[in-house]
Structure 1
Amino acid sequence: MKRFVFPFILFAFVCLVSLSFTSPSTSYYSITVKVTNIRNNSGKLQLQIYRTAENFKKEIPWKVRLFEKDAVKNNTMTCVITGIEPGEYGVALLDDENANKEMDYSMFVPDEGFGFSDYYHTAWSKPKFESFKFQLKEDKTVTIKVRYV
């Protein structure tokens, strides 16, 4: 009988240990960004995804996605970003009309369009992350109205 008890206990222990090291399945979601008020089809739309106010302040996005503007119709385009874990996010947009991957300025005023998830920024200063952040708990659709100065 002792011969069978030790292997059984060992087998049970191995099963318990292996269960404790398996991670729970993580759900991934998509963010659909409806971009409105696009003034032309030149260049690319650059979407920057931020996870914290600190990284937004330092301009260090968590992810950057570029989208060709060939799908713009009636000054509107839809972009989909997939494979995003649940959490807090904010999306900033640059209408990079010359596709140089940075905002261009004339006399300290932006030459290209910009926008933020579900927030139309009208001030001259940079917005706060809290103004355009959202919780991702399921597939999410946000709208960004591009602003040109």
Structure 2
Amino acid sequence: MTASAAPPTVEISVTGLRNMKGQILVCLTTNPKAFPDCSKDKGSVRMAVKAANAGDFTIAAPATGTFAIAVVHDENSNNKMDVAIFLPKEGFGFSRNPTITVGPPSFKSASFVVTGDTHQAIRMKYML
């Protein structure tokens, strides 16, 4: 009997944090309807990483496939993105760093294929 291969990992580097307060909320999903808020996707991978450790960390993908990542700099550690009049008060970022105009990017613009261990560099953006 051969051992099954370990699931692939996605190494994530987050740059552009305005401070080291709080945590980075991470969502990895294959479901376009659940992007960028993974709460509607039971198969998504969600985790929180201390902002001070967000330079490089690894997340295990459940399998190979097409994924998208959304991250939020939850500066006050309340486990959600705070908004003020429709604008995020906290930083955010997405895999493949798509251009942000109004609202979150499409799953397609942030998606990437995982066939083995891979890397995503995510730049944080702040609106306020």
Tell me which interval the TM-score lies in, with the shorter structure as reference length. 0.7 to 0.9
RMSD: 2.2
Q: Which has the larger displacement, 85-94 or 55-64? A: 55-64
By how many angstroms is 1:83 displaced?
5.5
Of structures 1 and 2, the one scoring higher in RCO (CA 8 A, sep 6+) is 2
Indicate which of 44, 64, 71 corresponds to 2:53: 71
Q: Does 1:119 align with 2:97?
A: yes
Unaligned runs of 5+ in 1: 1-21
Q: Which residue type is aligned with residue 57 of structure 2?
A: C
Measure, in 2, the Cα distance between the counterparts of 1:126 and 1:107: 15
Q: Given the superposition, is the C-alpha separation of residues 58 and 92 from structure 1 closer, same or farther in structure 2, using an over 3 Å criterion?
A: closer
Q: Given the superposition, is the C-alpha separation of residues 65 and 58 from structure 1 closer, same or farther in structure 2, using an over 3 Å criterion?
A: closer
Q: Given the superposition, is the C-alpha separation of residues 145 and 120 from structure 1 closer, same or farther in structure 2, using an over 3 Å criterion?
A: farther
Aligned-pair identity (%): 25
Measure, in 1, the Cα distance between the counterparts of 2:52 and 2:100: 27
Q: TM-score, normalised by structure 2?
A: 0.86
Indicate which of 33, 48, 73 corresponds to 1:54: 33
CA deviation vs aligned residue, 1:57-85 (integer Å, no higher than 9, x gap): 6642411110012236xxxx112113531
Q: Does 1:91 align with 2:73?
A: no
Instruction: Indicate if the aligned counterparts of 2:36 and 2:70 stay in contact, CA closer than 8 A.
Output: no
By how many angstroms is 1:27 displaced?
4.4
Q: TM-score, normalised by structure 1?
A: 0.74
Q: Which has the larger displacement, 32-41 or 60-69? A: 60-69
Q: Higher helix proportion, which one? A: 1
Q: Which residue type is aligned with residue 69 of structure 1?
A: A
Q: Does 1:30 align with 2:9?
A: yes
Q: Number of residues paired by the alignment? A: 124
Instruction: Indicate if the aligned counterparts of 1:29 and 1:139 stay in contact, CA closer than 8 A.
Output: yes
Counterpart residue number, 1:138: 116
- Specify the SS of the correspondent of 2:49: strand
Unaligned runs of 5+ in 2: none
Measure, in 2, the Cα distance between the counterparts of 1:66 and 1:57: 15
Q: Which residue type is aligned with residue 89 of structure 2?
A: D
Counterpart residue number, 1:5: none
